[in-house]
Amino acid sequence: MSRDAIISFQDVSKSFGKVKAVDGVNFEINRGEFFSLLGPSGCGKTTLLRMVAGFEMPDSGEVFIDGQPMSAIPPNQRPVNMVFQNYAIFPHMDVRGNISFGMRKSGLSKVELNRRIDEILELIKLQGFGKRGADELSGGQRQRVALARALIKQPKVLLLDEPLGALDKKLREQMQIELRLLQQQLGITFLFVTHDQEEALTLSDRIAVMSEGHVKEIASPAQLYENPGSRFVADFIGSMNFFKGEVVDSNKKHLRITSDTIGDIVVPESDTKYNVKYPVWIAIRPEKLQPVFSEPDDLSHVMEGQMGPSAYLGDRSHFYVHLAKREEPVLVALQNLDRSNDLLRKPNQRVWLKWSIEAVVVLPRD
């Protein structure tokens, strides 16, 4: 275990009946990090979080917090605190009652405790709300109280279980920024569970992408988006066009790949070593395809097709392009840089999609 690790999962598995919720998970979370567990529902991310909190026990393996094995330690004695998905604000207490709930055994004098509560109310911008009851708070305010109630305990790790899921989009974006600032200000490790990939990208230092009880990949947001390690991760984070290809030649520096749909390409050799004949995916993000509506002079790194259905999304537009040799249309995303969107009004128009070799990600296909 590295010295920087505040949480360490070692061979952790957990089943519910016949379902393996978490299957042999091994990784570490560093001190002071904003770490997200990202995956579709049922991927085991919440189970993993609840194991750190102590509400679930691993069937095998061990969770370490700050170097200490946790299996014999009940939830009320662990140095972590949690913000619940529905906030779990105590309905029979006011805001101050909720925030001071965990401080009964803190040994602080009443004056000192009140000072702390005032401090934390200021931190979460709820000054003057101390006497409000739980039912007099909006969703965003409840979320802040849940945050304050956990933070006043000064946990080694703050656990957040999809805390922004119930808020509307505007408020959610605002809370994302506040959460990130708060984490940087306090320097506490945040372990954040979400199924919203955009949220994970916005907030995290590192993200663990999970699927069916396994951790597929752990990396920084930019790394995951621009250089994903598998088709699952590439597909789950953002949108991606995949083209079937096969390695025809590989030397130390370059990889030559042939593909029915986009022709032969040469890409720099990546960390993964590919043998000749190896089946691969050639992956290109929709925003990295540039549409032009007259035939370009240079036809290398160009796909030709016909405009299909399109969608106007305000800041950008999405449209599908049908290629001659490919059943599945290609998704293209275009920033709406000026106010005209005429190109979207011409279905069946011929279109050429230009791309650069730096935009291509090569992934193993099996």
Partner 1 sequence: MKSNHPWWKPDGLLIYAILYLVFIYLPVLFLPLFSFNNSTYITFPLKDFTLKWYAKMINSPGLLEALFNSIKVGLLVAIFSTILGLLAAKSVTRYRFKGRGPLVSFIMIPLVIPEIILAISLLILISQANIPLSLWTIGFSHLLLCIPFSMLILISRMEGFDKSLEEAALDLGENPWMTFWRVTFPIVLPGIVASLLLTFTISFDEFVLAFFLSSTDATLPIYIWSSLRFPTKIPAILALGASIFVISFFVVTFAEWVRRRGVKLESTSGI
Binding site for partner 1 (CB under 8 A): 53-55, 74-77, 80-82, 84-86, 88, 90-94, 96-97, 100-105, 110, 113, 117, 130, 133, 149-150, 153
User: In the numeric block, which tokens belong to residue 87?
Assistant: 């906030």
Q: Which is nearer to partner 1, 3 or 105 (CB)?
A: 105
What's the distance, Cα to Cα, between the start and end of the chain in Å? 33
Q: Which is nearer to partner 1, 108 or 266 (CB)?
A: 108
* Residue 136: Cβ-neighbour burial (10 angstroms; 0-12, 13-18, 19+): exposed
- Report, in Å, the least distance between residue 252 CB and partner 1: 54
- Report, in Å, the least distance between residue 113 CB and partner 1: 7
Q: Which is nearer to partner 1, 161 or 199 (CB)?
A: 161
Q: Which is nearer to partner 1, 105 or 273 (CB)?
A: 105
- Report, in Å, the least distance between residue 119 CB and partner 1: 15
Q: Which is nearer to partner 1, 117 or 307 (CB)?
A: 117
Q: Which is nearer to partner 1, 94 or 178 (CB)?
A: 94
- Report, in Å, the least distance between residue 256 CB and partner 1: 56
Q: Are residues 302 and 294 in contact, defined by beta-carbon separation less than 8 angstroms?
A: no
- Report, in Å, the least distance between residue 176 CB and partner 1: 22
Q: Are residues 254 and 269 in contact, defined by beta-carbon separation less than 8 angstroms?
A: yes
Instruction: Residue 346: name the closest of 305, 309, 296 by CA.
Output: 309
User: In the numeric block, which tokens belong to residue 190?
Assistant: 């945040």
- Report, in Å, the least distance between residue 164 CB and partner 1: 16
Q: What is the DSSP letter of 293?
A: S
- Report, in Å, the least distance between residue 1 CB and partner 1: 25
Q: Which residues contact 193 (CB under 8 A, 6 or more apart)?
A: 36, 37, 45, 46, 48, 49, 159, 160, 161, 162
Q: Which residues contact 141 (CB under 8 A, 6 or more apart)?
A: 126, 129, 132
Q: Are residues 60 and 44 in contact, defined by beta-carbon separation less than 8 angstroms?
A: no
- Report, in Å, the least distance between residue 120 CB and partner 1: 13
Question: Checking DSSP bridges between strand 302-312 and strand 241-250, what pairing results, if any?
Answer: unpaired
Which conformational region is residue 256 in: left (phi greater than 0), alpha (psi within -120 to 50 degrees), or beta?
A: beta
Q: Which residues contact 154 (CB under 8 A, 6 or more apart)?
A: 188
Q: Which is nearer to partner 1, 77 or 340 (CB)?
A: 77
Q: Which is nearer to partner 1, 149 or 172 (CB)?
A: 149
How far is it, in rounded angstroms, from Cα 332 to Cα 32? 38
Integer angstrom CA distances of residue 224 from 213, 216, 283: 19, 11, 13
Which residues make beta-bridge pairs with 315? none
